[in-house]
Structure 1
Amino acid sequence: MKENKTKPDIRFKGFTDDWEQRKLGDVTQIIMGQSPDGSTYSETPKDYILVQGNSDIKDGWVEPRLWTTQVTKKADVDDLIMSVRAPAGSMGKTAYNVVIGRGVAAIKGNEFIFQSLIKKDIEGFWKKITTGSTFESLNSNDIKNSNLLVPVNEEQIKIGQYFSQLDNLITLHQRECNQLKELKKTMLKKMFPRDGSNIPEVRFAGFTDDWEQRKLSEVLISLQNNTLSRVNLMSETGVAKNVHYGDVLIKFGDILDVSKEKLPMISDESILKKYKASFLQNGDVIVADTAEDSSVGKCSEIIGLNDEIVLSGLHTIPYRPVEKFASGYLGYYLNSSAYHNQLIPLMQGIKVMSISKSAMQNTYIIYPKLEEEQAKIGQYFSQLDNLITLHQRELEILKNLKKTCLKRMFI
């Protein structure tokens, strides 16, 4: 907050008065949570919804997870819920009457207050005043004595209405994005054969033949991966592009379109000769062989290659099909539960899981004999991914708009 600033950069027409500095505790009631006895907790929907902390809030709203028979401190419908323990300052609302534990506080505030507190959280205000070296927390005085600059009630209402509408748009796109992701997850289960079957549960019309089942070693041949880590790579220029296992796990999806992704570059020209036989081609797949969870085995199928030289990097296994597959089929199949469930018993490790090339050799690849059916499956999931990406982009645009508006419409 700029020193002595009393007016925001952007205002609704008709409002010109200075904003007034007040203590949060003077403009609203704050109720610190108190946890019920642990013996009263239940995971069965009954009695009173218990809000313990930020884990009970999803997309800005309380999402029932635990219940209790003991009423300690309460929050009412539409109250604001602030997390007072790590992450201290995170905000939400409740659409239910709930019992609040010691990890949260209830605030009887309007939409303007809610958005003001979100702004404080985004700007890191609460982190500066939290106490505790290993477990950050806020106490009652921290919250009550925090300063707010507030306009007259009419302007508060206008600002609150604007941000409420913006939040509704964000929620709508978030919900649609989540629904599409759930649809994709469901169809990945239903459109590939499972449990020893040779036909899928859901299939495009006109296809009736049994699917082919072959060992991975008969369908895919492994290429040599390079051992260069990120410290050996340049970010802008070089002689070849590198796909690191972390990119496969986190950044890239079932399909990696090289023409659309910015990949780290390898600067050492000696790799051109050393790994020449392993330059990737369209249709090759890269499998991450290491992860901190059961996402080991996540795969990306390479498309969009032109004249670029691309190599599979550290902690990856690159494979090349020995027969022709329709674009996209392998990428989606190898990330489906139908295939991934074969990998789970083969994973090794405690904190870091891994899977070896030799262990994967005897897993089975299942696919339609007709390339036309493979193509239809690949196209279906590609269209789903495009819709998901579209909603994610819209979501990011709206979230960035909100950040800008919070910065310029509040002080």
Structure 2
Amino acid sequence: MSNSVPEGWAESKLGSIAKLTMGQSPSSDTYNDQGVGLPFFQGKADFGSRTPKVRYWCSQPSKVAEANSILFSVRAPVGEVNLTPYECCIGRGLAGIKAESADQEYLFQKLQFVKPKFGLLSQGSTFEAVNGSEMREFPLVIPPLPEQQKIAAILSSVDDVIEKTRAQIDKLKDLKTGMMQELLTKGIGHTAFKDSPVGRIPEGWNVECLENISEKISDGIHSTPKYAEKSDYRFVNGNNLKGGHIVYGDSAKYVPLDEYNKHKKALTNGTILMSINGTIGNLAFYRGEEVVLGKSAAYISLNEGQSKEFVYFVLQSQAVKTFYELELTGSTINNLSLRSVKNTPIPLPPKKEQRKIAGILAEIDKGICQRNSKLNQFSSLKKALMQDLLTGKVRVNVDNKENAVA
């Protein structure tokens, strides 16, 4: 036995501890969205965070996965998993896995943990995929059943908290969407309304192009800057803008001081940054960061006294998103021109009402941010627990002392 196998654990193969059902696509004329037949899942596109989302049904399934089966993505991205709570039809992008001599929840957690190894297994082929033989022969090191069950209970309890937190975030996002629609079209306490370029708005509101309430609207450099291995100055593009903040991530690029001085823009406390290439409309407030902007990041420096918080929420509204969709150029990668940004229609209440509306929406954003922070904490905890428990680095106590080390 390998020295890497914890005491009391055993080396096995996936096909030895579980029944595998490789998917097969049924005839396309048996698909429907009317709920006729079994739920039909084709691949990762149907997956949720833990359970799949039913979009189609199949009246004559070719391959069926049992209820509570693990659905395993056998095509790119290889190794993604979900648990189906019901019997379902599976297409050729999936395999159904049902534990026979192992705990099903434990196996679900274990397959999540070893996903990178399946990725390595699928490399080298023209199309990233794994077949049934490769899956059945896939090696696993597993503890005795009581220890499996205890590990599964611990990890699934963290999953439950993660799911509840995600549900809270989704509810707050729905609330925000509804409140934005209400507040940015009807305002607070109005009874009289008028027609406008953005639809019906309260009497006393105006509509202005974004350019008319801004000191300057432009974008970043259209060339590749000189990078530094490390410095106090960052290079920022549209993909670094998220949820009102500049997010650098692990792949952040740095520029030296001379490059920063050469390319820095006159950004102010009233500046909003927006992505205009690729993903359109991601936003961030400028908070004094020492950055060089790339061409996919536009900056909107508002007039003094204009509420940047109010404009920030208007730029997230469905009306503005629809306007931008009609203005997009580029066949492969979406692009929003600066002219379109400047022409963005902005409904403007009196400044006091702007501040009230922004304050209400900011409170909802605050709640979303707090729960996102908790979600990140729980996700980090889950990752650490998986590393400890699924490798045997940390052993759990079970009732049968012969099957686990305290």
Pairwise TM-score range, normalised by the shorter structure:
0.7 to 0.9
Judged with a 3 Å threshold, the aligned counterparts in structure 2 of structure 1 residues 383 and 242 are, in CA distance, closer, same or farther, namely: farther
Q: Which residue of 1 aligns with 2:126?
A: 134
Between 1:263-272 and 1:99-108, the stretch displaced more is 263-272
Q: Which residue of 2 aligns with 1:102?
A: 92
Q: Which residue of 1 aligns with 2:398?
A: none
Judged with a 3 Å threshold, the aligned counterparts in structure 2 of structure 1 residues 210 and 338 are, in CA distance, closer, same or farther, namely: farther
Judged with a 3 Å threshold, the aligned counterparts in structure 2 of structure 1 residues 40 and 214 are, in CA distance, closer, same or farther, namely: same
Q: Which residue of 1 aligns with 2:147?
A: 155
1:178-327 alignment runs, 5 A limit: 178-193=170-185, 195-199=198-202, 210-223=204-217, 225-227=219-221, 231-234=225-228, 236-237=230-231, 243-248=236-241, 252-253=242-243, 255-256=244-245, 266-269=255-258, 272=261, 278-289=265-276, 291-292=277-278, 295=280, 297-302=281-286, 304-305=287-288, 312-322=293-303, 324-327=305-308
Q: Which residue of 1 aligns with 2:63?
A: 73
Conservation of the 8 A alpha-carbon contact between 2:40 and 2:91: yes
SS in 2 for 1:62: coil
SS in 2 for 1:354: coil
Name the CA distance, whole Å, in 2 between partners of 1:224 and 1:54. 39
Judged with a 3 Å threshold, the aligned counterparts in structure 2 of structure 1 residues 136 and 219 are, in CA distance, closer, same or farther, namely: same
- Which of 65, 73, 76 is the aligned partner of 1:86? 76
Judged with a 3 Å threshold, the aligned counterparts in structure 2 of structure 1 residues 132 and 103 are, in CA distance, closer, same or farther, namely: farther
SS in 2 for 1:81: strand
Matched, 1:5 2:11: no
Cα offsets for 1:153-211 (capped at 9, x unmatched): 22222112112211111111122222222322333333212842123xxxxxxxxx532
Between 1:325-334 and 1:221-230, the stretch displaced more is 221-230
Cα offsets for 1:226-278 (capped at 9, x unmatched): 5165643547535x666433323xxx33x3489xxx99665354865886xx5
Conservation of the 8 A alpha-carbon contact between 1:327 and 1:378: no
Identity of aligned residues (%): 25
Cα offsets for 1:270-301 (capped at 9, x unmatched): 865886xx511111233433x235x2x44434
Name the CA distance, whole Å, in 2 between partners of 1:270 and 1:406. 43
Cα offsets for 1:105-139 (capped at 9, x unmatched): 11112112221222111xx2112323762322222
Matched, 1:171 2:152: no
Cα offsets for 1:54-80 (capped at 9, x unmatched): 212111212111111112221222111
Name the CA distance, whole Å, in 1 between partners of 2:86 and 2:296. 47
Shift of 1:19: 0.9
Conservation of the 8 A alpha-carbon contact between 1:212 and 1:366: yes
Q: Which residue of 2 aligns with 1:399?
A: 379
Judged with a 3 Å threshold, the aligned counterparts in structure 2 of structure 1 residues 210 and 115 are, in CA distance, closer, same or farther, namely: same
Judged with a 3 Å threshold, the aligned counterparts in structure 2 of structure 1 residues 344 and 33 are, in CA distance, closer, same or farther, namely: closer
Name the CA distance, whole Å, in 1 between partners of 2:98 and 2:211. 63
Conservation of the 8 A alpha-carbon contact between 2:274 and 2:282: yes
Conservation of the 8 A alpha-carbon contact between 1:130 and 1:137: yes
1:196 partner letter: G
Q: Provide the aligned length of Structure 1 versus Structure 2.
A: 373
Name the CA distance, whole Å, in 2 between partners of 1:101 and 1:274. 52
1:45 partner letter: G
Shift of 1:357: 2.9
Q: Which residue of 1 aligns with 2:390?
A: 410
SS in 2 for 1:320: strand
Name the CA distance, whole Å, in 2 between partners of 1:141 and 1:257. 46
Conservation of the 8 A alpha-carbon contact between 2:235 and 2:291: yes
SS in 2 for 1:374: helix
1:133 partner letter: S
Conservation of the 8 A alpha-carbon contact between 2:72 and 2:81: yes
SS in 2 for 1:328: helix
Name the CA distance, whole Å, in 1 between partners of 2:89 and 2:205. 54
1:379-394 alignment runs, 5 A limit: 379-394=359-374
Between 1:107-116 and 1:352-361, the stretch displaced more is 352-361
Judged with a 3 Å threshold, the aligned counterparts in structure 2 of structure 1 residues 35 and 270 are, in CA distance, closer, same or farther, namely: closer
1:211 partner letter: W
Between 1:57-66 and 1:342-351, the stretch displaced more is 342-351
Name the CA distance, whole Å, in 1 between partners of 2:120 and 2:291. 45
Unaligned residue ranges in structure 1 (runs of 5+): 8-16, 200-208
SS in 1 for 2:64: strand
TM-score w.r.t. structure 1 length? 0.80
Conservation of the 8 A alpha-carbon contact between 2:263 and 2:292: no
Unaligned residue ranges in structure 2 (runs of 5+): 186-195, 392-406
Name the CA distance, whole Å, in 1 between partners of 2:120 and 2:297. 41
Conservation of the 8 A alpha-carbon contact between 2:227 and 2:255: yes
Shift of 1:355: 3.0
SS in 2 for 1:61: coil
Shift of 1:372: 2.3
Name the CA distance, whole Å, in 1 between partners of 2:30 and 2:87. 17
Judged with a 3 Å threshold, the aligned counterparts in structure 2 of structure 1 residues 312 and 191 are, in CA distance, closer, same or farther, namely: farther
- Which of 330, 351, 375 is the aligned partner of 2:355? 375
Judged with a 3 Å threshold, the aligned counterparts in structure 2 of structure 1 residues 170 and 368 are, in CA distance, closer, same or farther, namely: same
